[in-house]
Amino acid sequence: MQHIITLIPGDGIGVEIVESIKQIFSAVNTPIIWEVEDIGKTAFEKSGSLMPDSLFASIEKNKVALKGPAETPVGKGFQSVNVQLRQKFDLYANVRPCKNIEGVQTKFTGVDLVLFRENTEGLYSGIQFFDERLQIADSISRVTRVGCDRIVESAFKFAHENNRKKVTVIHKANILKHSGRLLLEAGEKAHAKYPHIQMEDKIIDNMAMQLVRYPEQFDVLVTSNLFGDILSDLCAGLVGGLGVVAGANLGNDYAIFEAVHGTAPDIAGKGLANPTALLRSAIMMLEHIKLHEHAQKIQNALEKTLKVKELCTGDLGGKANTATFTQNIINNL
Ligand code: NAI
């Protein structure tokens, strides 16, 4: 059976790393037909729209997409394309596994975290005002009980299904009393359903400190949109940086898999980008559509390649460029 997947190269290094994924996937004969769609600056230059109708139609039809990073022009009144996609398809769970990778040197060992970030509400809900006369900016953080319940429940469900031991609920309930309370109550509710999973809660500032001192004490983390956005980059830093961390945006009906990093304008077009983050996101996608054997094959080849520094890209201390790194993975398949 062939799977039709929407492929969104995006901007900057997106085109280069997507090419790498296509080559690796065809080397293992993955039964996928890519339906390529533009987004962001590239789409705007071609069609005058940051998010063309055909992009929405393709995701609506295929239900699953693999996406490179996208650029939203800043200061021109455009809402972030990423935020729009997440809201449009109700992709409420942003899931980011961060685990030490053999061969990738970091300051920490024993890190094996999965962060669940609420992806549609909070400070990124898009409720913003600017009073020209008084020069006052308001950004409203709207959080709902339904939104808190479903993200916390999905973290506990993941912990249960993946033999994880503990869920940490991260909040700021001492100051943000109502939104913090909703998240904590969601935690108690989910814990009652999965009593064998240990639950703890931590205030965000303490959590940031604990993560950079003793990251090995944490397992599954769940938090709101803004805190999750910041913590996910922090967690990526614990295991080798933005070039190696995968991400999935999951809802009940749709799933978009994408790397954590952005378009990397400083290295775009130079053939230097590391495709690992997008490849790992693509592996998550293969698991999602139940192509487990293909996922495992690519995962093994990637792990084998990452163990040898010279075979890797410059950000990992290696000598390879995007094309040779891709070929090194294919050689290890
Ligand atoms: P960035 O992630 O693009 O770059 C940060 C640093 O990491 C740069 O030095 C870059 O060269 C390096 N880097 C990132 N990915 C890499 C890779 N795969 N291989 C090697 N090095 C890599 O973050 P920045 O500069 O803050 O954002 C640039 C643009 O990307 C902005 O327009 C931003 O809005 C957009 N962006 C898009 C995202 C998405 O579509 N999901 C996420 C984050 C940012």
DSSP secondary structure, 228-262, as one string: HHHHHHHHHHHTT-GGG---EEE-SS-EEEE-SS-
What's the gap in Å between 264 CA and the centre of ligand 1?
4
The mean per-residue pLDDT over the stretch 172-188 comes to 96
SS3 state at 110: coil
Choose which residue among 83, 263, 267, 321 to substitute to test ligand 1 binding: the one with the highest number of ligand atoms within 8 A of its C-beta: 263
Question: Is pLDDT at 78 greater than 80 in this prediction?
Answer: no
d(CA 286, CA 272): 25
Q: Is 112 exposed, middle or buried (0-12, 13-18, 19+ CB in 10 A)?
A: middle
What's the gap in Å between 146 CA and the centre of ligand 1?
32
The first and second tokens of residue 21, run together, are: 């994924």
> What is the topology classification, in CATH, of domain 1-94+241-333?
Isopropylmalate Dehydrogenase (3.40.718)
Question: Is pLDDT at 72 greater than 90 in this prediction?
Answer: no
Q: Where are the domains of the chain?
A: 1-94+241-333, 107-238
What's the gap in Å between 199 CA and the centre of ligand 1?
33
Residue 238 Cα distances to 42, 95, 280, 313, 317, angstroms: 32, 16, 17, 19, 16
The mean per-residue pLDDT over the stretch 113-139 comes to 94
Site of tokens 């509400």 = 121
Q: What is the CA radius of gyration of the chain?
A: 20
The ligand 1 atom at the shortest distance from the C-alpha of residue 275 is 18
Residue nearest to atom 40 of ligand 1 (CA): 69
Which CATH number is associated with domain 107-238? 3.40.718.10
The mean per-residue pLDDT over the stretch 137-157 comes to 97
Strands 136-142 and 122-131 come out as: antiparallel
d(CA 149, CA 314): 42
d(CA 127, CA 32): 38
pLDDT digits (tens, 9 = 90+) for 35-66: 999 999 999 999 999 999 999 999 999 999 99
What proportions of the chain, in percent to the nearest 5, are helix, strand and coil?
A: 45, 20, 35
The mean per-residue pLDDT over the stretch 66-74 comes to 91
Q: For the chain, give the number of residues.
A: 333
Residue nearest to atom 11 of ligand 1 (CA): 264
Total-model pTM: 0.94
Instruction: Give CA angle at 53 (86, 140), nearest 5°.
Output: 35
The mean per-residue pLDDT over the stretch 135-164 comes to 97
The first and second tokens of residue 186, run together, are: 């969601």
Residue nearest to atom 23 of ligand 1 (CA): 262
The first and second tokens of residue 318, run together, are: 């290696």
Question: Is pLDDT at 77 greater than 80 in this prediction?
Answer: no
Q: How many CA atoms lie within 13 A of 266 on its CB side?
A: 3
Q: Given pLDDT bands bounded at 50, 70 and 90, which one contains residue 226? A: very high
Domains 1-94+241-333 and 107-238 share a fold: yes
pLDDT digits (tens, 9 = 90+) for 248-292: 999 999 999 998 899 999 999 999 999 999 999 999 999 999 999
d(CA 252, CA 301): 31
What's the gap in Å between 47 CA and the centre of ligand 1?
24
The more confidently predicted of residues 73 and 208 is: 208
d(CA 146, CA 142): 12
**What is the per-residue pLDDT for 73?**
81
The ligand 1 atom at the shortest distance from the C-alpha of residue 264 is 3
Choose which residue among 242, 244, 315 to substitute to test ligand 1 binding: the one with the highest number of ligand atoms within 8 A of its C-beta: 242
What is the pLDDT of the chain when averaged over all its residues?
95
d(CA 150, CA 224): 12
Q: Which residues line ligand 1 (CB under 6 A)?
A: 13, 69-72, 82, 242-243, 258, 261-267, 273-274, 277, 315
